[in-house]
Chains A and B, each alone.
Chain A
Amino acid sequence: MQENDKKLRIMNIPMQYFLVLSTFMFFAGIYGFITRRNMLAILISLELVVNAVDINFVVFNRYLYPGSMEGFFFTLFSIGITAAESAIAIAIIINIYRNLHNIEVRNMNKMKH
């Protein structure tokens, strides 16, 4: 137990501090995702969520499995996928703006008619 604690403090910052930090970032993103009405603002909140998860991958990799690189590559690929995803989402949003002149989510039901 004592030994564990010592090993987890490789860099004299406990691992849990990073996790708490990313928790706050994640749930700030969740709050924005629920309360925002503008589609671009929702996408920005989503970036916060993804970024918090990336921090967790890297921190687990560094503290728990310093010899391997799985978390590192997960984050690398996650950044790539997020870039692709937001590019497509922004293309869709701009297309919606072109048709409806508005990107508020409550107007999105117009697509049904």
Chain B
Amino acid sequence: MEIAANEIVFYVLSVVIVVFSILTVTTRRILRAATYLLFVLIGTAGLYLLLNYHFLAVVQIMVYAGGIVVLFIFSILLTSHAGDKAEPLRLKDRLLGLSAALAGVALVLPVILMNTFGPTTPVAADEQIDMTVIGSALMGAGKYQYILPFEAISILLLACIVGGILIARKR
């Protein structure tokens, strides 16, 4: 049985993502948690590349890996000392978290694996989306175009800038 290259890439990426997401939530040093989160986010960008959404992979790397993780690391360094360790979890808390997570997995996995997803449109596009298509859909006002959410997000970001300054400034 031959294995295609994209399958190998998928399996490597999924191992990376699963291992590092578990490490993110179990490590006791918070700076390491942020670093592991960075690996998970880069792995996700790899998945987007695998699915031929190149623009989304670039956005993921730029906004998440370049912006949010850096913000996290700065705020961790501002609020804790190097080498700080979280105190070990009480057994009760660990059991509570584990049972919630496992119950969720047990609920969702059978649904995913037993459901048959039928394609509702003929499968054609396996290639990447052209940049001009993305740009005109983002800026157009017609049907299936997204100028309104785009503008709403721009106002949201403006409100965030004002709010962030207002909350975090020195009194």
Contacts and interface: CB of A to CB of B under 8 A. Distances in A.
Interface of A: 1, 4, 7-8, 10-13, 15-21, 23-32, 34-38, 40-41, 43-45, 47-48, 51, 54-55, 58-59, 62-70, 72-73, 75-77, 79-84, 86-88, 90-95, 97, 103
Given A55-B47, A58-B51, A88-B164, A79 B63 contact: yes
Contact of A95 (B26, B52, B137, B168): B168
A45 B24 contact: yes
B164 A87 contact: yes
- Interface SS of A by simple majority: helix
Contacts of A66: 121, 123-126
B157 A80 contact: yes
B141 interface: no
Contacts, number: 222
Nearest to A28: B21
Contacts of B59: 76, 79
B24 A28 contact: yes
Interface residues of B, number: 83
Interface in B75-95: 75-76, 78-80, 86-87, 89, 93-94
Contact of B63 (A8, A23, A59, A83): A83
19 contacts: A4-B119, A11-B6, A21-B18, A30-B97, A35-B97, A37-B87, A40-B79, A58-B48, A58-B53, A67-B122, A72-B129, A73-B146, A76-B59, A79-B63, A86-B71, A88-B164, A88-B167, A93-B79, A97-B79
